[in-house]
Amino acid sequence: MTDTSTPAAGAAPEGPFAECVLCREPTEHPESTKGATLCPVCAWQEAQRTACSG
């Protein structure tokens, strides 16, 4: 039986999250994160756009 009362190591921080600069959805980053933050979906789409298509 596992204890679910404590967060797992490496779990996302709790509290207010920064908004994605593209779609305004919450990201996995805290509001205190500097720079442009992207949600996982927009980060993946941005990586696809900038990937080498060669």
Diameter of the chain by CA atoms?
50
In a domain, 11, yes or no: no
Mean pLDDT of the region 8-31: 82
- Cα–Cα distance measured from residue 41 to residue 35, given in angstroms and rounded to the nearest whole number: 18
Mean pLDDT of the region 9-13: 54
pTM of the model: 0.63
In a domain, 37, yes or no: yes
In a domain, 6, yes or no: no
In a domain, 33, yes or no: yes
* Domain range enclosing 28: 17-50
Q: How confident is the model at residue 26 (pLDDT cuts 50, 70, 90)?
A: very high
In a domain, 24, yes or no: yes
- Cα–Cα distance measured from residue 43 to residue 14, given in angstroms and rounded to the nearest whole number: 21
In a domain, 12, yes or no: no
HEC assignment per residue over the chain: CCCCCCCCCCCCCCCCEEECCCCCCEEEEECCCCCCCCCHHHHHHHHHHHCCCC
Q: Over the stretch 30-53, which tens digit does the pLDDT of each residue have? A: 999 999 999 999 999 999 998 876
Domains in the chain, number: 1
Residue-level pLDDT at 32: 93
